[in-house]
Structure 1
Amino acid sequence: MTSFHTSFILGFHGCDEDTAVDLLNGKPFRQSSEDFDWLGSGAYFWEGDPGRALEWAIEKQNRGSYKKAAVVGAVIDLGNCLDLTVRENLDLLSDAYRSFETARVKAGLALPVNKDVKGSKEGDKLLRYLDCAVIRHLHENIEDEVRKARDSGTSPLIQPFDTVRGLFVEGENVYPGGGFYQKTHTQIAVRSETRIIGVFRPRNLQSAEEPIGPS
């Protein structure tokens, strides 16, 4: 589904220093499976933005979740990618939403709702319960179709996705009245560990929270 997108990208994973050492020594990336994950289950990376990955890790450090913030870079082959910056994939996601909505109504269940986090900018909806559920539903539908095709000896129309890619507008305006936002970024969720070709320690890494130059 990414016919017109370069297959190899650099992703950056914010984490604790101990985790960074483990990853650099060959340990697999943890697959997040929270109900509010922005792109569904997977190992998460900031595309082409090590500074933003470090900012995120520093936020976790400041909250006491990490002892020492760190970043690991990865060479990722997107493979069969659900690229949600591409129109055809957004149409596929829209179809998945309608299927998901129908299933919830039949079961007498309410739809999940994206929610703001207390203390964050109103409207950023950092807890993506609905988006996560719809993306998971799409993956499940595809996997069901693949199983049915194999059982009937036919070829499935679509293969399971290895990765998911999404662009997110987040944060305050870069300047008053403008259309650019300080935390806008592209995220990658890697569902298949084999798509992570290699890992490395980024050099000269500095976040926007750190001063530039001598004090």
Structure 2
Amino acid sequence: MYNSRPGLVIAFHGCEADTCDALLTNPDFIKRSEKPYDWLGHGMYFWENNIDRAFEWAKNKKSRGEIRTPAVIGAVLDLGYCFDLTDSRFISMIKMHHSKLSQIYKKLREELPQNKDSKTDQYKDKILRELDCKVIEFMHDQITNWVAADIQLKGYSEYRIFDSARGVFTEGGPAYTGAGIAEKTHIQLSIRNPNCIKGFFLPRQEIDFLKSSLSKN
């Protein structure tokens, strides 16, 4: 009843400038990330209401030689049926699927992937999250299979396929000495259903509205 996220969300996607231009002129040019270490599973990734973090991410990609010109594009999103990891119900769900996946790997006598530290991450935040990605994708596959089997058997299903995923992540060192606040804490969004993306926009530069209003008087 309360699992769909009402209202629209403003979010930002850090990318190559050419990708930004392509999305503006052809908003159906949507490319999912399908890396084995994606934090929220596969999808198109956004920073919720955080343009500075999106641009910082793009600039870091440039410093590693992965893109030429860093840019940020804004998006208006409807998260729909959202796998929201701020919701206790969904944390319980992912724990259950981790248990199932662990049993499968145990029977196969194989080791589950693990979250790993990047060599360049001084804070050891396990940013290569292969375990989390594997468990989340396993969950999505299971739900999709249940829906397909139900539809084939009875024409409908009580199960629902997730449109998006959302999580709050603490990352980076403390914001100040003794802080319980991490410097790079952010809300990340992964859009699985492209229909959740209502449109893209080029972010404007903020003006000093008070200053401009006073100068006119």
User: Fold match, TM over 0.5?
Assistant: yes
- Structure 1 stretches of 5 or more lacking a match? 206-215
Which letter maps to 1:49?
Answer: N
Deviations 1:170-212 (A, max 9, x none): 001100111101111010000111110010011127xxxxxxx
Q: CA deviation at 1:151?
A: 1.4
CA-based RMSD of the aligned residues comes to 1.5
Partner of 1:35, secondary structure, is coil
Q: Are 1:34 and 2:35 counterparts?
A: yes
Of stretches 150-159 and 184-193 in structure 1, the one that deviates more from structure 2 is 150-159
Which letter maps to 2:113?
Answer: P
> Which residue of the partner structure matches residue 22 of structure 2?
22
Distance 1:195 1:132, change over 3 A: same
Partner of 1:80, secondary structure, is strand
Deviations 1:11-63 (A, max 9, x none): 10000111100011124221010100101110000001011000000111122
Which letter maps to 2:101?
Answer: F
Q: Are 1:117 and 2:121 counterparts?
A: no
Q: CA deviation at 1:4?
A: 7.0
Partner of 2:188, secondary structure, is strand
> Which residue of the partner structure matches residue 103 of structure 2?
102
> Which residue of the partner structure matches residue 208 of structure 1?
none
Distance 1:3 1:69, change over 3 A: same
Q: CA deviation at 1:156?
A: 2.2
Q: CA deviation at 1:154?
A: 5.2
Q: Are 1:10 and 2:10 counterparts?
A: yes
Deviations 1:109-155 (A, max 9, x none): 10110000002134300100000000001001100100110111153
Of stretches 130-139 and 117-126 in structure 1, the one that deviates more from structure 2 is 117-126
**Is the CA contact 1:40–1:133 (under 8 Å) kept in the aligned structure 2?**
yes
Of stretches 27-36 and 93-102 in structure 1, the one that deviates more from structure 2 is 27-36
> Which residue of the partner structure matches residue 71 of structure 1?
72
**Is the CA contact 1:2–1:81 (under 8 Å) kept in the aligned structure 2?**
no
Q: What TM-score, normalized to structure 1?
A: 0.91
Q: What TM-score, normalized to structure 2?
A: 0.90
Q: Are 1:151 and 2:152 counterparts?
A: yes
Q: CA deviation at 1:2?
A: 5.1
**Is the CA contact 1:74–1:197 (under 8 Å) kept in the aligned structure 2?**
yes
**Is the CA contact 2:117–2:124 (under 8 Å) kept in the aligned structure 1?**
yes
Distance 1:36 1:137 in 2: 13
**Is the CA contact 2:123–2:173 (under 8 Å) kept in the aligned structure 1?**
no
Structure of greater Rg: 2
Which letter maps to 1:87?
Answer: S
Partner of 1:60, secondary structure, is helix
Of stretches 183-192 and 146-155 in structure 1, the one that deviates more from structure 2 is 146-155
Distance 2:136 2:166 in 1: 11
Which letter maps to 1:73?
Answer: G
> Which residue of the partner structure matches residue 173 of structure 1?
174
Distance 2:163 2:6 in 1: 15
**Is the CA contact 1:114–1:127 (under 8 Å) kept in the aligned structure 2?**
yes
**Is the CA contact 2:169–2:187 (under 8 Å) kept in the aligned structure 1?**
yes
> Which residue of the partner structure matches residue 213 of structure 2?
none
Distance 1:4 1:39 in 2: 17
**Is the CA contact 1:7–1:79 (under 8 Å) kept in the aligned structure 2?**
no
> Which residue of the partner structure matches residue 209 of structure 1?
none
